C-alpha cells in the first residue's frame, strides 16, 4: 500500500505555534500567518480512523485551493500560497466558534434526525412528507458549534447563537449571506460537472483588521456531500439510494460494522481493499469537480517532501 501522511509534527522557520486537528495540522508562522498541512487521516463521527488514505490530503488541499480561487469574488479568504501539494499558507484569522452548514437535500445527519421523527435541525424546519434525498423547498442553514477535540459538534439555532453572544447579529447576518452565495456558486459549479451539491459546511474567521474571511476548506469531499446528477430523478422515483461522491459511504461502512462513535463501541479497522476504494473515490471527486486529471505527487517520503518545500518557501 502507498505511504500516507498521518502523524508527523514539523519544526519550521519562524514557527510560533502548533495545533493538531482531526485531519489538519496548523502552524503559526510569525504573528500574522498560518501554515496548514492536510494529512491523509480520515475522520467520521468525530473520530479519526486508524488508517490513512493515500493521496487524500493532496486531494483536499488542491480542491480547497481551486475553490478558494473560484469564490474569492464572493468573500475574502485566508489563502495566499500552496508551497506543497498538502500545504496551504495564508492570513491568520480568529475563527468564529460555529460552522455554517447549509443543506439543499434531506440527507446524512438531517435524514437521520428526520427518520427519528424530528422536523427541524438547528431550528430550521423540515416539511412533512419527504423521503431520503428529496430536495428541500429551499436550502436551509443549520449551524453547528465547533466542538473541542474529542467532542461532538452540536446543532445550534440562529436564536441561540445570538442570545449566547457566540456571534454578533451584524456578523451573523454576513455569515448567512456569504453561506448562501457560496452555496449557490458551488451548486452551479457542481451542476456543470454532472453533480449535485447536496450539503456543505463553511468556516469563517476575522483577520487582525476585522475583515471576515473564508477559512479552512471549501466544497471538498470532507466538507460536502455530492450526488450524481444523471439518474437522480429516476432513483428517487424508485426509492433507491443515490449514487454519491462524499465520505458518507465511509460513515455507512462504519455503521454496517457497528460503529457510530457511541460509548462502548469499538472502531473497526478498514481492510486495505476498502482503503483503496476510498482513495479512488477521493480522486474521482477531484477529477469530477476540477474537470482535470489528478496528478499524483511522490509519496515515498511525504514528510521529507513537505519539510523541504515549506522550509524553502519560508526562507
Arithmetic mean of pLDDT, 179-189: 97
For 221, the grid coordinates are 469531499
In the chain, the percentage of residues whose pLDDT exceeds 70 is 97
pTM of the predicted protein model: 0.89
Strand partners, 47: 44
CA distances from 39 to 34, 115, 301 (A): 16, 34, 13
pLDDT 10s digits, 117-145 = 999 999 999 999 999 999 999 999 999 99
pLDDT 10s digits, 262-311 = 999 999 999 999 999 999 988 988 998 899 999 999 998 999 999 999 99
Strand partners, 166: none
Arithmetic mean of pLDDT, 84-111: 97
On the question of pLDDT at 149 being above 60, the answer is no
Q: What is the rounded distance in angstroms from the CA atom of residue 99 to the CA atom of residue 143? A: 6
Arithmetic mean of pLDDT, 194-208: 97
Arithmetic mean of pLDDT, 108-114: 95
How many other C-beta atoms can be found within 10 angstroms of the C-beta atom of residue 13?
12
Task: Identify the CATH assignment for 95-249 out of 3.90.1170.50, 3.40.50.300, 3.90.1150.10, 3.30.470.20.
Answer: 3.30.470.20
Q: What is the rounded distance in angstroms from the CA atom of residue 247 to the CA atom of residue 222? A: 6
Cell 459511504 found at: 249
CA angle 305, 44, 192 (to 5 degrees): 75
pLDDT 10s digits, 224-269 = 999 999 999 999 999 999 998 777 789 889 999 999 989 999 999 9
pLDDT at 206: 98
Q: What is the rounded distance in angstroms from the CA atom of residue 145 to the CA atom of residue 135? A: 25
On whether the CB atoms of residues 293 and 287 are closer than 8 A, the answer is yes
On the question of pLDDT at 151 being above 60, the answer is no
Cell 487521516 found at: 41
Which of 42-46, 113-117, 158-162 shows the lowest per-residue confidence on average (mean pLDDT)?
A: 42-46
Which stretches of the chain are assigned E, i.e. beta strand? 15-20, 24-29, 33-38, 43-44, 47-48, 79-84, 87-91, 94-95, 98-105, 120-121, 124-125, 135-141, 144-145, 195-206, 212-215, 224-228, 244-245
On the question of pLDDT at 33 being above 70, the answer is yes
Arithmetic mean of pLDDT, 107-111: 94
Amino acid at each position: 500500500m502507498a505511504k500516507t501522511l498521518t502523524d508527523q509534527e514539523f519544526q519550521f522557520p519562524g514557527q510560533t505555534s502548533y495545533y493538531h486537528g482531526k485531519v489538519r495540522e496548523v502552524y503559526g508562522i510569525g504573528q500574522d500567518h498560518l501554515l496548514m498541512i492536510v494529512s491523509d487521516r480520515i475522520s467520521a463521527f468525530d473520530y479519526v480512523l486508524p488508517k490513512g488514505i493515500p493521496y487524500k490530503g493532496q486531494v483536499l488541499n488542491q480542491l480547497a485551493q481551486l475553490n478558494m480561487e473560484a469564490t474569492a469574488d464572493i468573500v475574502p479568504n485566508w489563502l495566499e500560497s500552496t508551497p506543497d501539494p498538502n500545504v496551504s499558507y495564508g492570513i491568520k484569522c480568529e475563527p468564529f466558534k460555529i460552522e455554517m452548514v447549509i443543506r439543499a437535500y434531506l440527507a446524512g445527519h438531517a435524514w437521520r434526525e428526520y427518520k427519528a421523527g424530528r422536523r427541524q435541525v438547528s431550528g430550521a424546519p423540515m416539511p412533512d412528507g419527504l423521503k431520503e434525498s428529496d430536495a428541500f423547498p429551499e436550502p436551509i442553514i443549520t449551524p453547528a458549534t465547533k466542538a473541542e477535540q474529542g467532542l461532538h459538534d452540536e446543532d445550534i439555532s440562529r436564536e441561540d447563537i445570538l442570545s449566547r453572544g457566540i456571534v454578533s447579529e451584524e456578523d451573523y447576518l454576513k455569515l448567512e449571506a456569504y453561506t448562501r452565495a457560496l452555496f449557490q456558486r458551488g451548486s452551479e459549479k457542481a451542476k456543470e460537472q454532472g453533480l449535485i451539491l447536496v450539503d456543505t459546511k463553511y468556516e469563517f474567521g476575522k483577520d487582525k483588521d476585522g475583515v471576515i474571511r473564508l477559512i479552512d476548506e471549501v466544497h471538498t469531499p470532507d466538507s460536502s456531500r455530492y450526488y450524481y446528477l444523471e439518474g437522480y430523478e429516476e432513483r428517487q422515483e424508485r426509492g433507491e439510494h443515490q449514487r454519491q461522491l462524499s465520505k458518507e459511504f465511509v460513515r455507512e461502512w462504519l455503521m454496517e460494522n457497528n460503529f457510530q462513535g457511541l460509548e462502548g463501541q469499538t472502531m473497526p479497522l478498514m481492510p486495505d481493499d476498502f482503503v483503496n476504494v476510498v482513495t479512488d473515490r477521493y480522486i474521482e471527486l477531484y477529477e469530477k469537480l476540477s474537470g482535470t486529471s489528478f496528478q499524483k505527487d511522490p509519496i515515498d517520503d511525504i514528510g521529507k517532501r513537505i519539510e523541504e518545500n515549506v522550509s524553502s518557501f519560508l526562507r
